[in-house]
């Protein structure tokens, strides 16, 4: 068991270092006039994802369960989900939009950095957590939050480009950005994907709640803020379909939605403790 703990920690630290260096290389790629560093950034991000996966597998073996039951474990897998979703986009579009990494990888770095500061002890599960629905519920959150993180990064890119275009400023950075239409479309796709899993998150959470506490919904702070987050993205999608919203308005919705995601995950635990105070 001690060896597993040692190797899990080692692979986690390697992952952390890989994500830091990948983030710096993505920035270098963004700022360099020669366009160097991009391929190495992708390789390091992929290396980090592989070592991250190994660390998660080792913790699963060590704990004898899915590592999804406390703040450290969720933050750890949350960062994994962000990088997985981002690298899939890189691969899917043949690395044409590698510049996204300069805005997405820093967010993954912040999340895994937050995880590194949390207690990593493995403790016995309380009765409410001893359910297969916990694994399903938290797994949907990983993909929902990973997609929303990417949408936030793209929204920041959109607002930056829109601002520079309005000022008539064109430099090295903007030359590597996709058009505003492409950024807007990618942001929409990321939110649509995340919204599907956010919906599943709420549904599976209700089923888990009925098993654990005998009710589907109890207006616990985390439940309430999860619903608020869902409503914000629902408004985004509804307005886009029915009113043709796009551009800066929807970019701000993506950023506000992500702030709600962070508050649901971190803020509620710090300031609004409830039945979910352990996750």
pLDDT tens per residue across span 149-178:
999 999 999 999 999 999 888 777 888 999
Q: What is the mean pLDDT of residues 125-145?
A: 87
pLDDT at position 261: 95
Asked whether the beta carbons of 264 and 229 are under 8 A apart, the reply is yes
Asked whether the beta carbons of 156 and 255 are under 8 A apart, the reply is yes
- Rounded Cα distance between 99 and 167, Å, is 22
pLDDT at position 134: 85
Higher pLDDT, 101 or 266: 101
Higher pLDDT, 201 or 127: 201
Q: What is the mean pLDDT of residues 90-101?
A: 93
pLDDT at position 213: 81
Asked whether the beta carbons of 247 and 238 are under 8 A apart, the reply is no
- Rounded Cα distance between 86 and 80, Å, is 10
Asked whether the beta carbons of 114 and 19 are under 8 A apart, the reply is no
In this predicted structure, which of 144-158, 181-195, 260-274 has the lowest mean pLDDT? 260-274
Q: Quick check: 265 pLDDT over 60?
A: yes
- Rounded Cα distance between 188 and 250, Å, is 9
State the chain's mean pLDDT as an integer. Answer: 91
- Rounded Cα distance between 130 and 135, Å, is 9
- Rounded Cα distance between 147 and 199, Å, is 13
pLDDT at position 169: 80
Q: For residue 35, name the pLDDT band (cuts at 50, 70, 90).
A: low
Q: Quick check: 201 pLDDT over 90?
A: yes
Q: Which helix (H) or strand (E) holds 115?
A: helix 101-116
pLDDT at position 125: 78
pTM above 0.85, yes or no: yes
pLDDT at position 274: 56
Residue 274: DSSP 8-state = S
In this predicted structure, which of 61-65, 82-86, 167-171 has the lowest mean pLDDT? 167-171
Q: For residue 1, name the pLDDT band (cuts at 50, 70, 90).
A: low
Q: Quick check: 34 pLDDT over 80?
A: no
92-95 LR contacts (CB < 8 Å, sep 24+): 95/38, 95/39, 95/42
């Amino acid at each position: 068991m001690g060896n597993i703990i040692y190797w899990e920690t080692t692979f986690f630290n390697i992952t952390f270092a890989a994500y830091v260096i990948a983030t710096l290389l993505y920035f270098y790629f963004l700022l360099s006039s020669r366009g160097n560093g991009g391929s190495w950034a992708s390789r390091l991000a992929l290396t980090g994802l592989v070592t991250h996966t190994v660390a998660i597998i080792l913790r699963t073996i060590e704990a004898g369960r899915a590592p999804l039951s406390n703040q450290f474990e969720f933050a750890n897998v949350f960062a994994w989900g962000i990088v997985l979703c981002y690298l899939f986009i890189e691969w899917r579009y043949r690395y044409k939009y590698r510049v996204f990494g300069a805005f997405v990888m820093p967010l993954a770095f912040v999340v895994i950095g937050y995880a590194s500061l949390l207690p990593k002890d493995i403790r016995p599960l309380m009765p409410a957590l001893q359910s297969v629905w916990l694994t399903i519920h938290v797994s949907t959150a990983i993909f929902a939050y990973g997609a929303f993180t990417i949408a936030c990064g793209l929204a920041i890119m959109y607002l930056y480009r829109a601002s520079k275009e309005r000022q008539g400023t064109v430099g090295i950075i903007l030359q590597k950005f996709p058009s505003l239409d492409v950024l807007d479309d990618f942001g929409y796709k990321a939110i649509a994907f995340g919204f599907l899993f956010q919906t599943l998150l709420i549904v599976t959470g209700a089923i888990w709640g009925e098993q654990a506490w005998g009710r589907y919904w109890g207006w616990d702070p985390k439940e309430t803020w999860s619903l608020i987050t869902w409503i914000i993205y629902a408004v985004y999608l509804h307005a886009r379909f029915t009113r043709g919203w796009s551009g800066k308005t929807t970019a701000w919705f993506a950023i506000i939605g992500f702030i709600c995601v962070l508050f649901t995950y971190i803020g509620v635990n710090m300031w609004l403790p409830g039945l979910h105070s352990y996750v």
